[in-house]
């Protein structure tokens, strides 16, 4: 999972500088585009996390990114949200090159990180205190924003819990509230990094349904990073599969299963076949990476022996 040195409580919109609303992309231009993107931590000689990564995501699509552990999925999220600049290539969102943290993004991570001293409604409202233009409008339009927050809480079935504190609620309820918080400022782009990873299987499946419902209603562009291939196939229109580190896209699958999908969908042969195919692709890249690491270790050992 992501270990981000991100803005307050890795939850909501990134709030700092950067384009407020990027210019609208011309028709036919992808909403999110990665061209030959590479990322090395610690400079060019440092750890290479991503290599020649290309993606073109249309507006309103639900994308999932899967791949072996450590392949650079979270790094990809950081690049798209502008929290991390690429060391190679370019990232564009809504027709503008990403040069800093974007404001049109909502984010939710595995740990909901709701503020424990704030009741649920106030937690959901938090991004409005940070992100413009809502920040300037909030005081004068409080009733409108409260109605919006309550409507979101109702969508996820938390309308009766708005006065409760996060620590009074289950993990699933907290993650529902987290989803509301990431959507309160109507982001055009929602980035989800393993949002349901810490939940039990039943709650997770329940929240797939909740997220799908919210997305079908609002149709924001969504990028979901997950280890759970069933989650990817249930939620996404398109699944990108990444290689082992340095990560690059090795496969792309269109999920043409009708919506709304349900838990029953996950037992359909087409669904099972898709998950199986992706699982094999990831198993293969993991095996290749293990072999390469072993060969590297052997070579290093031989060189060391020769030197001594
Ligand atoms: N800030 C950082 N500095 C140095 N290396 C980093 C940093 N962030 C991530 N890495 C390394 O970059 C690689 C990719 O990390 P990243 O978190 O993007 O992978 P991931 O696919 O999201 O991992 P996981 O599946 O385990 O959540 C890993 O080897 C990781 O250790």
How confident is the model over 99-128, as pLDDT tens digits?
Answer: 999 888 998 888 888 999 999 999 999 999
Q: What is the Rg, in whole angstroms, of the alpha carbon atoms belonging to the chain? A: 20
User: Residue 125 Cα, ligand 1 centroid: separation in angstroms?
Assistant: 31
pLDDT digits (tens, 9 = 90+) for 124-144: 999 999 888 999 999 999 999
Provide the pLDDT for residue 308. Answer: 60
Provide the pLDDT for residue 226. Answer: 96
Name the superfamily (CATH) of residues 18-58+68-104+190-197+222-300. P-loop containing nucleotide triphosphate hydrolases (3.40.50.300)
User: Residue 141 Cα, ligand 1 centroid: separation in angstroms?
Assistant: 41
Percentage of the residues of the chain whose pLDDT score is greater than 90: 70
> Between 308 and 55, where is the model more confident?
55
User: Would you say how long the chain is, in residues?
Assistant: 308
Residue 247 has, within 13 A of its CA and on its CB side, a CA count of 24
Is ligand 1 within 6 A of the CB of residue 75? yes
Is ligand 1 within 6 A of the CB of residue 69? yes
5 CB-contact burial (10 Å; exposed 0-12 / middle 13-18 / buried 19+): exposed
Number of Cβ within a 10 Å radius of residue 121: 20
Strand 47-57 relative to strand 32-41, pairing: antiparallel
Provide the pLDDT for residue 24. Answer: 60
Provide the pLDDT for residue 134. Answer: 92
Number of Cβ within a 10 Å radius of residue 95: 14
Is pLDDT of 8 > 50?
Answer: no
User: Residue 1 Cα, ligand 1 centroid: separation in angstroms?
Assistant: 8
pLDDT digits (tens, 9 = 90+) for 235-252: 999 999 999 999 999 999
Is ligand 1 within 6 A of the CB of residue 41? yes
Distance CA 287, CA 305 (A): 27
Distance CA 281, CA 248 (A): 13
- Specify the ligand 1 atom closest to the Cα of 242: 21
Beta-bridge mates of residue 106: 190
pLDDT digits (tens, 9 = 90+) for 68-93: 999 999 999 999 999 999 999 999 99
Is ligand 1 within 6 A of the CB of residue 47? yes
Report the pLDDT averaged over residues 50-73: 96
Q: Which residue is closest in CA terms to ligand 1's atom 1?
A: 41
Beta-bridge mates of residue 105: 189
User: Residue 9 Cα, ligand 1 centroid: separation in angstroms?
Assistant: 19
Is ligand 1 within 6 A of the CB of residue 72? yes
Is ligand 1 within 6 A of the CB of residue 74? yes
User: Residue 245 Cα, ligand 1 centroid: separation in angstroms?
Assistant: 9
User: Residue 114 Cα, ligand 1 centroid: separation in angstroms?
Assistant: 24
Identify the band that residue 20 occupies on the pLDDT scale cut at 50, 70 and 90.
very low
Beta-bridge mates of residue 193: 109, 225
Is pLDDT of 7 > 60?
Answer: no
Identify the band that residue 303 occupies on the pLDDT scale cut at 50, 70 and 90.
low
pLDDT digits (tens, 9 = 90+) for 30-44: 999 999 999 999 877
Is ligand 1 within 6 A of the CB of residue 78? no
Is pLDDT of 18 > 70?
Answer: no
What is the 3-state secondary structure of the chain?
Answer: CCCCCCCCHHHCCCCCCCCCCCCCCCCCCCCEEEEEEEEEECCCCCEEEEEEEEEEECCCCEEEEECCCCCCHHHHHHHHHCCCCCCEEEEEECCEECCCCCCCEEEEECCCCCCCCCCHHHHHHHHHHCCCCHHHHCCCCHHHHHHHHHHHHHHCCCHHHCCCCHHHCCHHHHHHHHHHHHHCCCCCEEEEECCCCCCCHHHHHHHHHHHHHHHHHHCCEEEEECCCHHHHHHHCCEEEEECCCCECEEEEEECCCCCCCCHHHHHCHHHHHHHHHHHHHHHHHHHHHHHHHHHHHHHHHHHHHHHC
Q: Which residue is closest in CA terms to ligand 1's atom 25?
A: 69
pTM of the model: 0.87
User: Residue 2 Cα, ligand 1 centroid: separation in angstroms?
Assistant: 7
Is pLDDT of 284 > 90?
Answer: yes
Identify the band that residue 306 occupies on the pLDDT scale cut at 50, 70 and 90.
low
Q: Find out whether 240 and 252 touch, Cβ atoms under 8 Å.
A: yes
């Amino acid at each position: 999972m992501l270990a981000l040195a991100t803005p307050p409580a890795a939850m909501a919109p990134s709030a700092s500088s950067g384009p407020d609303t990027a210019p609208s992309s011309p028709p036919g231009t992808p909403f999110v585009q990665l061209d030959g993107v590479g990322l090395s931590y610690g400079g060019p000689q440092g750890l290479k996390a991503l290599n020649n990564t290309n993606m073109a995501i249309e507006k309103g699509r639900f994308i999932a990114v899967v791949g072996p552990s450590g392949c650079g999925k979270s790094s990809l999220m950081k690049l798209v949200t502008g929290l991390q600049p690429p060391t190679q290539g370019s990232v564009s969102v809504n027709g503008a090159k990403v040069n800093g943290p974007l404001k049109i993004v909502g984010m939710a991570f595995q740990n909901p990180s709701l503020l424990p001293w704030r009741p649920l409604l106030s937690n959901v409202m938090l991004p409005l205190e940070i992100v413009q233009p809502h920040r300037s409008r909030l005081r004068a339009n409080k009733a409108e924003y409260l109605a919006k927050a309550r409507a979101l809480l109702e969508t996820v079935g938390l309308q009766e819990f708005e006065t409760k504190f996060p620590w009074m609620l289950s993990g699933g309820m907290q993650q529902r509230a987290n989803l509301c918080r990431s959507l309160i400022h109507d982001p055009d782009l929602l980035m989800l990094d393993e949002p349901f990873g810490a939940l039990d299987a039943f709650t997770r499946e329940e929240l797939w349904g909740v997220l799908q419902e919210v997305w079908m209603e609002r149709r924001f562009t969504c990028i979901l990073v997950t280890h759970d291939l069933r989650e990817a196939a249930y939620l996404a229109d398109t699944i990108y599969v990444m290689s082992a580190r340095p990560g690059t896209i090795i496969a792309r699958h269109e999920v043409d299963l009708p919506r709304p999908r349900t838990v029953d969908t996950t037992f359909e042969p087409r669904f099972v076949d898709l998950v199986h195919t992706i699982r094999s692709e990831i198993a293969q890249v993991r095996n290749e990476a293990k072999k390469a690491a072993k060969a590297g270790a052997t070579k290093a050992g031989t060189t060391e022996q020769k030197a001594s």
